[in-house]
Structure formats: structure tokens, C-alpha cells
Amino acid sequence: MDDVTVDRLRPHEIALLRGGARAAVTVALVGLHLRGALEAGLPGTVRASGSAAVAVPDPLERAVLGCLREPLSPRELVRHPDVRVATAELLLGPAGAGLLGPRLLRPTREARRRVRELRERHPVPRTRHGLPDDAGLLAVALHGETALVALVPRFALRAGLTRRARVADRGMLRHTPRNADRWDRTPLRGGFDGGGDGGGGGGGGD
């Protein structure tokens, strides 16, 4: 196992190594939000957007989306049988790369060290301008709530992925215009920039 092995993992797999099933599902939810396939529903829940034209190639994201026949909270999604199966299948990549112990399928000490090194090499982005989707998902995979607050504060708060106090501490909701975060307002096609913060259309909900 080397840095190349860890670098080749998908963000969902890296999140699984760092924080388990909940972290992997969080990356899946943000990925689906990027694709325009889901949106925040009632406080603390997510719901399918109803867009049939959205392609969802990732198996975990497909499983999550398939469960959203009604709004569910992230915790409910993590516990859903279909998502549990998809999360178990997600272990196959890291296991095949020697990143999981053979008995309990938990990250090895070396795997945890490699993930820490990735976190150091890929800090939370300071700006959303020009940030590719994959880089944003990697930031969420590596840094969890810190990246959510920095990159998608409104969606993360409304979907129940972050705590209100954490977002308020950063001043994201007080100082950020309602339409300023492109990742929060519309699905991205071609990265975070797409016109920049504060450009975009009128307000309104997700």
C-alpha cells in the first residue's frame, strides 16, 4: 500500500475510511445535491428532486436516491437496508487495497495514517470559486463537517448534516447572500464557479 493506492480511492471510499458509513453517506448526499437529484426537505431531511434526467453512476448514490420515496433524515438513510448493503459493497475497494483489517474490516493503522496525510495535503478549500466537483467531494470526504460548513452551509444545515451552532460560528448564514453559494442553490455542471458567488438568480428555497 502506498499514497497512490489511497489517492485512487473514490471520495465515498475515503470517507468510509475516515468516518464510517455516516461519512460515506454524507458524501453521497452532497454528490446527489451537485447532480440536482436531491434537495433539502423538511428541516433535517432530504428528498428526491424529481428530475428523471439526472444520471447517477455511483452505486452508493443510486442506493441513497432509491430510498427517497419520501423525505428521510441522514440517520434514517444510513440505517436503511438498501444503503447498508451499498455501504458494505463499498468496503470491497479499500479491502482489496489492503486498507482494512481482515477480521473486522476496519481501517488499519497504516490506512488511518494515509488518510491523515491526505487531509494535510488537501486542506479545506478557502474559496468555492473554480473548485471542481471532485475536489469539493474530496474535501467533504476528508474533512467532514468543516468542509460542509465552508462549502455548502445552507444545504448541509437544512439537510441535518451540520449543527446550527457550527454554521453560526462561521457566520455563513448571516453574511452569505441566500443565492451566493452556487453549490447550495443549483446543481453544478462544470464545477463550483459557473458565474461565481453572488451572481446567479433570485432567492427562494432549494
When pLDDT is averaged across residues 167-187 and rounded to a whole number, the result is 45
When pLDDT is averaged across residues 28-41 and rounded to a whole number, the result is 94
3-state secondary structure of 72: strand
- In this predicted model, which residue has the larger pLDDT, 144 or 53? 144
72 forms bridges with which residues in the sheet?
46
Q: Which single residue is written with the C-alpha cell 475536489?
A: 135
When pLDDT is averaged across residues 29-43 and rounded to a whole number, the result is 93
Q: Which single residue is written with the C-alpha cell 419520501?
A: 70
Question: Is the distance from CB of 38 to CB of 160 less than 8 angstroms?
Answer: no
Whole-model pTM?
A: 0.80
pLDDT score at 167: 52
pLDDT score at 135: 93
pLDDT score at 189: 37
Cα–Cα nearest to 147, from 94, 99, 100, 192: 192
Cα–Cα nearest to 206, from 151, 135, 157, 147: 157
CA distance 124 to 144: 10
pLDDT at 117 over 80: yes
CA distance 16 to 59: 14
CA distance 104 to 69: 33
CA distance 36 to 38: 6
